[in-house]
Chains A and B, each alone.
Chain A
C-alpha cells in the first residue's frame, strides 16, 4: 500500500508499505478513503514530540471502509463505512469505564500520562496513522462507528477530531449564559470552539490570531469579533480594555505547542525543542481571563516542561480545565447539531490533497500558505 512516512523533522515522503495485519482479535483493518492533516500533526512534523520514529505514518483523522476484522469483532463487517475517533481506547479499563476514553490505560505501553492516538509517535502508543491507504484500528467494537447514510464524508472526517475537540474546548469552559468567551487560535479547533461557545449561550465571542484570512473566517463562520494580536503592542491589555478591565469569563487555548507572539518562547519550544510547547497563548489566556474565571486548554502540548505563568493562575483563583477530547462521547450531540444545520464542519475545508502529494500539503499547512485552514488527504483507494 501507499503511505506517508516520516523521515525526520520537516521531511516526509510517500512509500510502499505492507498492508497492516490483524495483531489483536478485536482489530479491524480500514481502507482509508479520506484523511486530514491536523494542526497537531505539525508538532510531529517539526520534530517536537518525543519518540517520533522515522518510518512511522502519521494521521489521526480519517474515515474509510472496513477491509478486514479480527476474530472477536462483533459490531463491524467488511464493507461498512466507518469514522474512527482519534483516540485508541479499550472501553474497559478504569478510565474508559468512566468515560475518560482519551486517558485509556490499556493501549499505550510507552506512557501512562497519555492514552493512545493513531499516528502520533510512540509516546502515544506507536500506532501507525491513517495518512495511508490502510490502517490498523484496535478495539474495533469500541472506537469506530458506521457513518450515517445522511452524513457527508467530509463532515465525518472532521468529526474524528477537529469538531469534537473544539466543542469540547467550549464545554470545558463551563460557559453560562451571557459569558464573554475569548478563543486564542483561529485554526479549525479554535473556529469550532468559537462556534460552539454560542451554542452554549455565550454573550460575546472574541477570536485572536495573527493570520488575517483566518480571522476573516472567524467572523464569517463563527460570528465572532476578532483581533489580530500583531496589531497590538500587548493583546492582554487590549482584551482588558475590551472587557472594561474585568477580563473574559472564559478563555480557550486552541493554539498549543507552537504558539507565536513571543520569539523566545517559540524558538525554545518549536525550533530548539527545549520546552514541551510554547505557552504564549496559554500565558495570554491566564492573563486575560478574569479572576475566578476558567481557562480551557485543548491546544496540544508535549510532555516536557513548559514555561507557564502558574503563579498568576493561582493568585487569580482560576479554574484550569483540559484534556484530550473523548471524541465518541461528543458524537450523538454533534450529529444532532449537524442535522439541524447549526454546524457544517466541512465549511472549513480549504484544500483536498492527493496522498501522493502529501509532502507539499504538510509544507503548505506548516507555512500557512494559500489561505489554508483545513487540508484533507484524498487516498488513492478512495
Chain B
C-alpha cells in the first residue's frame, strides 16, 4: 500500500530544500527570518514617532461646502479639492453622502451611478469647447500598434474571453448616442 498523502499523517513527506542550499541560491534568503524583527511589527505601536509636531492638525479652510461621510463626526482637518460637486452628478453624489452611510449599498451604488452621469455630462460639455472628447486619442488605442497588440495577445491569455467587451463598453454608448442624434435629426427634418 502506498503511503498516505501529507494531510492524513502528522508530518510533511517532502524533504524541504535545506536552509544552507536556499541561502546559497537566493540572495538575502532568511535575512528577515525573525517575525518579531520585521517592519510594522507589532502592527500597533502606541506613541510611534511620525514627524507630526501637533496634537491636532491645523484645519484646512473650507472654501466651499465639502461633502463628507455621515460616519465622520466632523469634516477632517485636511481634504482633497480636486473636483468639487457640480451638476446632476454632484446632486446624486451629495445625496449619497448626506443620506447613506458607508455601510449601505445605496451609498456606493449611487456614487457609481453618479460616475456614469458625470462622464456623460462632461462628454456633452466638451462638444461646446475647442477640445471635444476624442475617444480615439483618449483611449490610447494607438498603443495597439506601437505596443505589438496582436503579438501580445498570442499564447494562453484567459482575458481573451472578455477583452472583446472593452470596445463595446467604450464605443457602444457613443454609437448609440450617434444613432439617437441621427434619429432626432431625421424626425425634425421630416416634420412639415
Q: Which residues of A contact B (CB under 8 A)?
A: 7-13, 23-26, 47, 50-57, 72, 74-75, 88, 90-92, 96-101, 105-113, 116, 122-123, 125-128, 138-139, 141-142, 167-168, 171, 174-178, 196, 198-201, 203-204, 210-212, 223, 228-231, 243-247, 260-261, 263, 266-267, 270-271, 273, 276, 290-291, 302-305, 326, 329-334, 337, 340-343, 358-364, 367-372
Contacts and interface: CB of A to CB of B under 8 A. Distances in A.
Contacts, number: 326
A141 B152 contact: no
A122 B79 CA distance: 9
A88 B21 CA distance: 42
B158 A369 contact: no
Contacts of B115: 47, 50-53
Most buried by B among A10, A51, A342: A51
A245 B13 CA distance: 11
A127 B50 contact: no
B169 interface: yes
B52 A260 contact: no
B83 A122 contact: yes
B149 A342 contact: no
Contacts of A9: 119, 169-170
Chain B, interface SS category:
loop
B143 A361 contact: yes
**Residue among B27, B121, B133 facing the most chain A CB atoms (10 A cut-off):** B27
Closest 4 CB pairs of A and B: A126-B80, A342-B28, A91-B52, A8-B119
A176 to B, nearest CB: 7
A210 B57 contact: no
Given A171-B38, A326-B40, A363-B140, A370 B152 contact: yes
Contact of B135 (A11, A53, A337, A360): A11
Contacts of A273: 112
A263 B61 CA distance: 47
Interface of B: 5-7, 12-14, 16-17, 19, 22, 25-33, 35, 38-41, 43-48, 50-58, 60-61, 66-69, 71-72, 75-83, 89, 93, 97, 102, 105, 108-109, 111-112, 114-116, 118-123, 126, 133-135, 137-144, 146-149, 152, 155-159, 161-163, 165-166, 169-170
A105 B76 contact: yes
Given A54-B118, A127-B80, A273-B112, A110 B68 contact: yes
B166 A110 contact: no
13 contacts: A51-B111, A51-B114, A98-B48, A110-B97, A126-B79, A126-B81, A198-B26, A198-B28, A199-B30, A203-B16, A247-B7, A360-B142, A371-B152
The residue among B72, B75, B152 with the most chain A CB atoms within 10 A of its own CB is B152
A302 to B, nearest CB: 8
Contact of B78 (A107, A168, A276, A342): A107
B71 to A, nearest CB: 4
Given A47-B115, A96-B52, A261 B27 contact: no
Contact of B138 (A12, A107, A176, A343): A12
A169 B61 CA distance: 37
Contacts of B82: 53, 55-57, 122, 126-128
A199 B28 contact: yes
Contacts of A99: 40, 43-45, 48
A370 B147 contact: yes
B51 A91 contact: yes
B53 to A, nearest CB: 7
A247 B56 CA distance: 48
Q: Which of B114, B121, B155, B159 has the most CB of A within 10 A?
A: B159
A196 B156 CA distance: 28
Contact of A210 (B38, B55, B121, B158): B158
